[in-house]
């Protein structure tokens, strides 16, 4: 008798099992963990997925994290941070959902486009294949072609990276129209791979109306029932909530979800997301998932280093205030990786870092002193467009003239160059051509290769690039090496026509592109306690136990400034 997998491996267009399988793929070598959400979005699936992957790594297994987002964008690159949070840039240049930052930080590994799937990517692949005649004359349908493309994506990742586990996070909630075909693909994946090779985990939110004062599970029951009606029986249900989930609530979830009580897990809000792995391990979730998928867990895993990291966050020896001058301050998710990089570095120095948010659209030369009162350091983050730029420039000038440690990131480098050109070099109305196309002194101009590009999506200098660090500079002291690799996301550069003037007046170019001549990547000032700006985004490579060197030394400078103030 043929197995189901042998049947689906048929290539005939007449077979209802028609689905493409990567050459050499063997079911069971890689196990799949599918994570869905019910009741509300933003429930913390990314933090949970990352925490579970972290624990599985501690058991000695290789893990890949994947996220599916149902939107029809090809990637997150053109999305406004106010709508979708930070755009996270991976080393290969993929612009992705901010959850990928959490994955990379927890798993301490670089991910790529092979880990990221959107509705737009699925359909663009299918339409390309259809035009090429790849479907053997068949009418192209959601089943089997859309669902087949999704399954092929995951099996290709399994063949490429050969992990023990692929953790698949389904964005949004069960019941969303844009997720329906993906949920069906996951049902088919379990059918084809065998239930012993696929584990379904549902995160559900337990409501607790203040007017009632008790936890209510009805919304969770209905959401889980909807998942079950799609043919997916969850193996584990993780209950989210503001406080500890009651035994009564978890018993109800167990009864109505058709799973044993021990497979219902409490994951209420904790002090930091870093506590999630410890809390899940305490309830034995990692061991339950491993046994469910036929693996033998370790009796004990080493979490001491992680616990020590949490201790340094929760019990710092001192506290400092760092200002962040930007224009997306109304949504902190816009700067998620920056916040995490600051947190990593604060923990490294056993220092609590309190942030002062400075909305630069409201800042000018007259009130900048008030805006920066009490800060021991200033960060000007990345951004696009003219709004708030004069406020950022005023903040940079104040930090430069008052010896406040300064870290400029991408756009923050450009603002620092403009400020220096205007106020030190005397270049009247110096600006970026992005902000003022008619500026008489375009000290910041568009990349040469960008001048003939008219679209927006995926057209910037993106991803990891090698940077040549100049010896006897602050940058070299920080990194301690001649070449480093960091991630970029920008279109504009320091205009080479102004390099000589800027350098002659004291601006130091301490980092250059390792590939192209005359492309500045790091600037700094000599006669300043700490003034450095990077064209790249060092926050994307910062990890909890390995803070990025730029952030690490910036926070140290802020501590010194606070101590000597």
HEC profile for 138-205? Answer: CCCCHHHHHHHHHHHHHHHHHHHHCCCEEEEEECCCCCCHHHHHHHHHHHHHHHHHCHHHEEEEEEEE
Structure tokens at 351: 């220092």
DSSP 257-310: HTS-GGGEEEEE--SSGGGHHHHHHHTTHHHHHHHHTT-PPPS----HHHHHHH
- Are 461 and 447 within 8 A, CB to CB? yes
- Are 98 and 336 within 8 A, CB to CB? yes
Looking at the structure, tell me whether residues 297 and 352 fall in a common domain. Answer: no
Q: Angle at Cα 100 formed by Cα 98 and Cα 220, nearest 5°? A: 75
Distance CA 8, CA 502 (A): 65
DSSP 432-476: ETTT-TT-SEEEEEE-GGGTT----TT-SEEEEEEEEEPTTSHHH
- A 10 A CB-CB count for 302 gives 9
Looking at the structure, tell me whether residues 325 and 300 fall in a common domain. Answer: no
Structure tokens at 184: 């069906």
Looking at the structure, tell me whether residues 197 and 282 fall in a common domain. Answer: yes
Which of these three, 265, 288, 306, is where a domain ends?
A: 306
**Nearest one of 90, 310, 286 to 201, comparing CA atoms:** 286
Which pLDDT does position 85 carry in this prediction?
A: 77
- Are 48 and 290 within 8 A, CB to CB? no
Which of these three, 279, 306, 333, is where a domain ends?
A: 306
- Are 353 and 313 within 8 A, CB to CB? no
Q: Angle at Cα 75 formed by Cα 70 and Cα 77, nearest 5°? A: 130
What radius of gyration, in Å, describes the C-alpha atoms of the chain? 26
Looking at the structure, tell me whether residues 273 and 326 fall in a common domain. Answer: no
Q: Is residue 17 in a domain?
A: no
Q: Is residue 1 in a domain?
A: no
> Which range marks the domain in which residue 148 is found?
28-306
**Nearest one of 346, 372, 492, 343 to 432, comparing CA atoms:** 492
Distance CA 355, CA 374 (A): 11
Q: Decide: residue 369, CB within 10 A, 0-12 exposed, 13-18 middle, 19+ buried.
A: exposed
Q: Is residue 105 in a domain?
A: yes
Looking at the structure, tell me whether residues 271 and 344 fall in a common domain. Answer: no
**539 in active site:** yes
Looking at the structure, tell me whether residues 90 and 177 fall in a common domain. Answer: yes
Q: Which of the following is catalytic: 524, 539, 553, 558?
A: 539
Element (H, E) at 508: strand 507-513
Q: Is residue 5 in a domain?
A: no
**Nearest one of 534, 506, 530 to 520, comparing CA atoms:** 534
Looking at the structure, tell me whether residues 507 and 420 fall in a common domain. Answer: yes
Q: Which of the following is catalytic: 145, 344, 537, 561?
A: 537
Q: Angle at Cα 375 formed by Cα 426 and Cα 329, nearest 5°? A: 85
- A 10 A CB-CB count for 6 gives 10
Could you tell me where the DSSP H helices lie in 490-548? 499-504
76: three-class secondary structure by DSSP: coil
Q: Is residue 14 in a domain?
A: no
Here the CATH number for the domain that contains residue 476 is 3.40.50.880
236: three-class secondary structure by DSSP: strand
Looking at the structure, tell me whether residues 224 and 124 fall in a common domain. Answer: yes
Q: Which of the following is catalytic: 199, 267, 395, 410?
A: 410
Q: For every one of its 565 residues, what pLDDT tens digit does the chain have, with 9 covering 90 and above?
A: 356 676 666 554 556 666 789 999 999 999 999 999 999 998 999 999 999 999 999 999 999 999 999 999 988 888 877 666 789 999 999 999 999 999 999 999 999 999 999 999 999 999 999 999 888 778 899 998 999 999 999 999 999 999 999 999 999 999 999 999 999 999 999 999 999 999 999 999 999 998 888 999 999 999 999 999 999 999 999 999 999 999 999 999 999 999 999 999 999 999 999 999 999 999 999 999 999 999 999 999 999 999 999 999 999 999 999 999 987 655 667 899 999 999 999 999 999 999 999 999 989 999 999 999 999 999 999 887 778 899 999 999 999 999 999 999 999 999 999 999 999 999 999 999 999 999 999 999 986 655 555 444 445 789 999 999 999 999 999 999 999 999 999 889 999 999 999 999 999 999 999 988 889 999 999 999 999 999 999 999 999 999 999 999 999 999 999 998 7
Looking at the structure, tell me whether residues 411 and 454 fall in a common domain. Answer: yes
Q: Is residue 12 in a domain?
A: no
**Nearest one of 151, 202, 179, 204 to 68, comparing CA atoms:** 179
**268 in active site:** no
Distance CA 68, CA 118 (A): 5
Which of these three, 253, 275, 306, is where a domain ends?
A: 306
Scored b (16 or more CB within 10 A) or e, 173-209 reads bbbeeebebbbbbbbbbbebbeeebbbbbbbbbbbbe
In this structure, the chain runs to a length of 565
Looking at the structure, tell me whether residues 527 and 473 fall in a common domain. Answer: yes
Distance CA 166, CA 392 (A): 43
Q: Is residue 373 in a domain?
A: yes
Here the CATH number for the domain that contains residue 222 is 3.40.50.300
What backbone torsions phi and psi does residue 284 show, to the nearest 5 degrees? 75, 20
Looking at the structure, tell me whether residues 178 and 292 fall in a common domain. Answer: yes
Looking at the structure, tell me whether residues 365 and 294 fall in a common domain. Answer: no
Element (H, E) at 51: helix 45-58
Q: Is residue 7 in a domain?
A: no
Distance CA 395, CA 372 (A): 8
Which pLDDT does position 553 carry in this prediction?
A: 98
Distance CA 70, CA 74 (A): 10
Structural domains of the chain, count: 2
**267 in active site:** no
Residues 6+ apart with CB under 8 A from 195: none
């Amino acid at each position: 008798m043929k197995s189901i997998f042998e049947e689906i491996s048929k290539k005939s267009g007449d077979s209802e099992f028609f689905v493409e399988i990567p050459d050499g793929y063997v079911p069971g070598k890689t196990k799949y963990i599918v994570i869905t959400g019910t009741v509300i979005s933003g429930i913390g699936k990314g933090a949970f997925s990352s925490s579970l992957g972290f624990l599985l790594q501690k058991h000695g297994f290789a893990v890949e994290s994947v996220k599916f987002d149902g939107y029809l964008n090809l990637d997150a690159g053109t999305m406004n941070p106010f709508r979708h949070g930070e755009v996270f840039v991976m080393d290969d240049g993929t612009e992705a959902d901010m959850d990928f930052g959490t994955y990379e930080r927890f798993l301490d590994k670089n991910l790529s486009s092979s880990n990221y799937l959107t509705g737009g990517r699925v359909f663009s692949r299918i339409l390309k294949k259809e035009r090429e005649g790849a479907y053997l004359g068949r009418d192209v349908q959601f089943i089997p072609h859309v669902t087949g493309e999704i399954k092929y994506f995951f099996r290709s990742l399994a063949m490429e990276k050969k992990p023990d586990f692929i953790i698949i996070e389904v964005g949004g909630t069960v019941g969303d129209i844009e997720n329906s075909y993906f949920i069906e693909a996951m049902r088919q994946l379990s059918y084809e791979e065998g239930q012993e090779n696929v584990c379904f985990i549902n995160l559900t939110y337990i409501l607790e109306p203040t007017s009632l004062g008790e936890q209510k599970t009805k919304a969770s029951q209905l959401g889980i029932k909807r998942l079950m009606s799609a043919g997916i029986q969850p193996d584990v249900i993780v209950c989210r909530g503001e406080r500890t989930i009651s035994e009564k609530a978890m018993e109800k979830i167990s009864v109505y979800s058709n799973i044993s009580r021990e497979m219902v897990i409490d994951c209420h809000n904790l002090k930091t997301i870093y506590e999630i792995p410890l809390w899940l391990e305490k309830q034995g979730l990692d061991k339950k998932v491993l046994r469910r998928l036929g693996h033998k867990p370790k009796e004990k895993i080493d979490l001491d280093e992680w616990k020590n990291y949490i201790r340094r966050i929760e019990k710092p020896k001192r506290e400092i205030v760092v200002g962040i001058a930007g224009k997306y301050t109304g949504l902190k998710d816009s700067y998620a990786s920056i916040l995490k990089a600051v947190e990593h570095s604060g923990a490294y120095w056993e220092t609590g870092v309190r942030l002062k948010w400075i909305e630069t659209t409201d800042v000018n030369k007259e009130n900048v002193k008030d805006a920066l009162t009490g800060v021991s350091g200033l960060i000007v983050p990345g951004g696009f467009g003219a709004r708030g730029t004069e406020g950022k420039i005023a903040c940079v000038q104040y930090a430069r003239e008052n010896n406040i440690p300064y870290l400029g990131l991408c756009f923050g480098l450009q603002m620092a160059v403009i400020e220096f050109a205007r106020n030190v070099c005397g270049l009247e109305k110096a600006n970026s051509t992005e902000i003022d196309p008619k500026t008489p002194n375009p000290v910041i101009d568009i990349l040469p290769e960008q001048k003939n590009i008219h679209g927006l999506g995926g057209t910037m200098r993106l991803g990891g690039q090698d940077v040549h660090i100049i010896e006897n500079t602050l940058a070299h002291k920080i990194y301690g090496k001649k070449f480093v690799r960091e991630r970029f996301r920008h279109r504009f550069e320091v205009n080479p026509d102004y390099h000589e003037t800027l350098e002659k007046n004291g601006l130091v170019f301490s980092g250059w592109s390792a590939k192209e001549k005359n492309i500045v990547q790091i600037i700094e000032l000599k006669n300043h306690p700490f003034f450095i700006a990077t064209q790249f985004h060092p926050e994307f490579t910062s990890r909890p136990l390995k803070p990025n060197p730029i952030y690490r030394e910036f926070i140290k400078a802020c501590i010194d400034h606070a101590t000597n103030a």
